[in-house]
Each structure stands twice: as C-alpha cells, then as structure tokens.
Amino acid sequence: MISKKQKIHLEAPKGLMNDPNGLCWYKGELYVFFQWNRFSKDHSFKEWGLFKSSNLLDWDFHGSAIVPDQEYDNNGVYSGNALEIDGKMHIYYTGNTKPNGIRKTYQCLAETDDGELFQKKGIILNTPKDFTEHFRDPFVWKGKDQKYYMVVGAQKVSGKGAIALCKSCDGKKWNYIGILAESDNCEMIECPVVFSLGEQQILLFCSQHRDNDKDEVLWSESLYQLGEWEPQTGDFTVGNLDEKYSRLDWGMDFYAPQTVCMPDGRTILFAWMSQMDGEQTEIFGEGEPNVHCMTLPRELTLRENRICQRPARELYQLLDDHIQIPKEKNHFQQETIAEMVSLSERTWYCKMELLQQEGIFELNINQSEVVFCYDPGEKQLVFQRKSWIRDGLEQKEVTLEKLDDLEIWFDTSSIEIFINGGSVVLSARVIPTQQHTKIRFQKSSKDMIKSMNMYKMKGRKSN
C-alpha cells in the first residue's frame, strides 16, 4: 500500500482532523486550531488540536489545546474562532453535551495570555428560543463601532437553516440580537464567517441539507455572499442565503473555511480538505495512523465581485528543482504525450499558460487518478478523480468562459488547482495508485500550451 502522508499540508500525526478553528495571529505566530479526534479515525470525540507558525512554512504541532472536560462541553469541543482582545486571546467555541442522549449546546469562552495555557471561562450564550440545539460554530469580530459581534450557525425551530447574530461590549457578556440571514432550501447553516476585503463585506457559510426526522446529514457545500452589514440594525443586505451566493471551491473536498487577517493586511483562508462520507473516510484511512488534512493557506482578493484564491506567497519557497519539459515537436505528434512529464515522486508544482484555441484541452495524471478536461466550445470544465469505493471516476463540472492558466499543487494524496488567477479553484484528495508521477496530455492540447513550468517541492518543516 502506498503511503498517503502529505508533505506540504497540515495533518495531525494520528486520529481524525476536521474543521480549522480559531485562526488567530497572536504574539508573532499564527495559531491554527482544528477539530481533532486523537483516539480514532472517526468523529466519536472532539477536542481542539493546535499548530503554530511564524511564517506559514515551518509548523510546530502542540497537540491538545482545548479538551472536553467540563459539564457544558463533555460531549465535544466543537468549532469556533479566536480573537485578541486587550492582549489576551479569546477563544469562542461550542460546547456539545448529550444528557440522556438529547443534544444540548452552549457557546463558550476560553482565554490565554501566553498562547500555552487556555483557561475556560464557561458559558457565554445559551441557545435562543428561535432555534433548535443545532446551534454552533461561533465566529466573533470587532465592528467599526468598536462593539463585538458574533454569528452562530443555526437551525430554526421550523427545521430550516439560519445564522444568529449576537452583540457584546467587551467580548465576554453577550446578547442575542436576531437572525442575520436564513434559508428555506437547507436545514442547517454551519461555520459562518464575516470578514472584509477592502470595503467589501463578505459572509462565508456552509449550507447543510439534513434529514431532520433521522437527524442525519445528507450533503453540504461551502458558499459565500457579498453584502453590506449594518451594525446599528443588525441587517445584512442579502439576508436570504438562497440567493446571490457563489461557491468557494468546485472540487470534491473543501469544507468549513475560516479566515484570518495577517499583520501585513492579507486575508488568509484555511479549509478542511474533505467532504468524505463515513465509507470514504474509513477506506482512505486504511493503513494510516491519521486521516484528513487542511487545504494549503490561501490569500484572498476580490476581482469583479468574486473572491479569488491564490496560494499564500510564502509557499513558493517550497519550490525546489526545476523540471525540464521536453520541447521537441515530436513529443506533440503522438496520440498522447506520455513521456512529456515523468517524475520519481508524487509532490510537485506546475504552472501552465494557455492560448485560446479550438479543441479540447485534457491532462491525465497517474493513469486517471485525476483527469482535467476543458471544452472551449461548450465552455465546460470537467474534473474527475478515481473513486476508491467503487469502480470508475467521480466527477465535478464547472461552467468556464475561458481557460487562461492553471496552477497545480500536487501533494502525495491531494490536488489543488487554481484556474485563471484563482477565480476558480478545485480541491480534492486523491488515492495514490503509484509511487511516481506521469502526466499525459491529449494530442488536441498541443497547440494550447503557451508555457509550462514545473518544479519538485520540498516538504514543509514541522516539529
């Protein structure tokens, strides 16, 4: 069995990792907390693990940070965020309990003044009467009016999804204001995030479709809306989560994104690189001590009223040996160009600039571990990966007006593709079928490649 251990992505040394939590720049370091089950590769236990870095390249793993050891969080320390207030890091999270098997949630606070010892301060908000106990994932920010605001993912008593809005003068005592936004199409909203790019305010959220009778998740997706939020009234100009939304990522594995503002003003995003179901997770984790990872950190900008995502600029320091691509024309005269790229490892970077030509552009990585195909006539991009639970390929489709460039970051068991300067991004885990790399281009792609640069990559440093 080929190892799935990643070289450039954050992953826990054991157990199951999921949502990034509490992204916070504090005392010269970026704190990336995450949902973690250190005991097994399933969701039966939830605490916060922690990575720290001063440069997005060298990471220290600090193990358990916040564990479920209180009556109000004894069934799990669920997702939340962190914010520095008066020199202390304030950590907001959902405490999950299940007395007599019945869910009861609380929004909770922990603090630290050294980034090492996290002192719990208890419950700061009970579930308002408008909502069921599917009420979780607080995100706190400081408004322009110097007040603190919190959004919480929620399910209304009607069984439909919503985002609750709360307010505080000091970040400690909170009052529920009302519903910021709501949905008629989904049964739960998770992981809301409010932030700004320049003057534009943005709401990230995950719409979760559920079978309320069985209390089971059917499917979920990560979305965003552009809008204006008025702190005096608590109104968000969109309000309806079923309209005027966009996807953040078009691949198979991307969920629960969270952002942080860096000291230089950049907005950085991490997400959980998974949307696997239980069967996929079990098989993907076979033979490994751990399962799941984070996406690469991404810089966010706004272009033509759409979020663009690019790999954080620090990551380009991981590029190592330049790979020479054969330029002889006879490489483009075969039915396929199997010899064009052949590597002895699985971690690499590739940037292609493309010309606007007729004909289908297609590349095939490692005998259909990943297939990428763009048809300019239909203006359709098809992204496929090899399934590991059944024969054949899984597929996602994107409508794309044109294909100007591709930037591919391929790790041992994942791929992230940034298209047209990051206006479209595809993220997916990949099941390794071979130790090396072969990239095959279809003949019709030969006149489309304007330039192609490829590099081996160094692994991230970690302790």
Rounded Cα distance between 132 and 210, Å, is 14
In sequence order, the 6+-apart residues with CB closer than 8 A to the CB of 328 are none
Residue type, 127: T
Rounded Cα distance between 89 and 110, Å, is 8
Residue 307 tokens, joined: 């979020």
Q: Minimal CA–CA distance to 248: which of 41, 418, 441, 451?
A: 418
In sequence order, the 6+-apart residues with CB closer than 8 A to the CB of 420 are 400, 402, 403, 404, 405
- Whether the Cβ atoms of residue 148 and residue 197 lie closer than 8 Å to each other: no
Q: Does 19 participate in catalysis according to the annotation?
A: yes
- Whether the Cβ atoms of residue 30 and residue 8 lie closer than 8 Å to each other: no
CA-based R_g, the chain, Å: 22
Residue 386 to residues 10, 352, 368, 391, 414: CA-CA distances in angstroms? 23, 23, 6, 8, 12
In sequence order, the 6+-apart residues with CB closer than 8 A to the CB of 230 are 236, 237
Rounded Cα distance between 99 and 101, Å, is 5
Helices (H), 276-417: 278-284
Catalytic residue among 19, 137, 253, 411: 19
Residue type, 356: Q
Residue 440 to residues 16, 84, 342, 394: CA-CA distances in angstroms? 34, 49, 9, 19
Side-chain half-sphere of 246: how many Cα atoms within 13 Å?
17
- Whether the Cβ atoms of residue 18 and residue 43 lie closer than 8 Å to each other: yes
Between strands 188-197 and 290-291, the pairing is unpaired
- Whether the Cβ atoms of residue 147 and residue 168 lie closer than 8 Å to each other: yes
Instruction: Tell me the torsion sign for CA atoms 114, 142, 125, 221.
Output: negative
Residue 229 tokens, joined: 């939020």
Residue 216 tokens, joined: 């089971």
Cα angle 452, 406, 361; round to 5:
85
Question: What residues form DSSP beta bridges with 437?
Answer: 343
Q: Minimal CA–CA distance to 326: which of 312, 337, 334, 336?
A: 337
Q: What residues are annotated to the active site?
A: 19
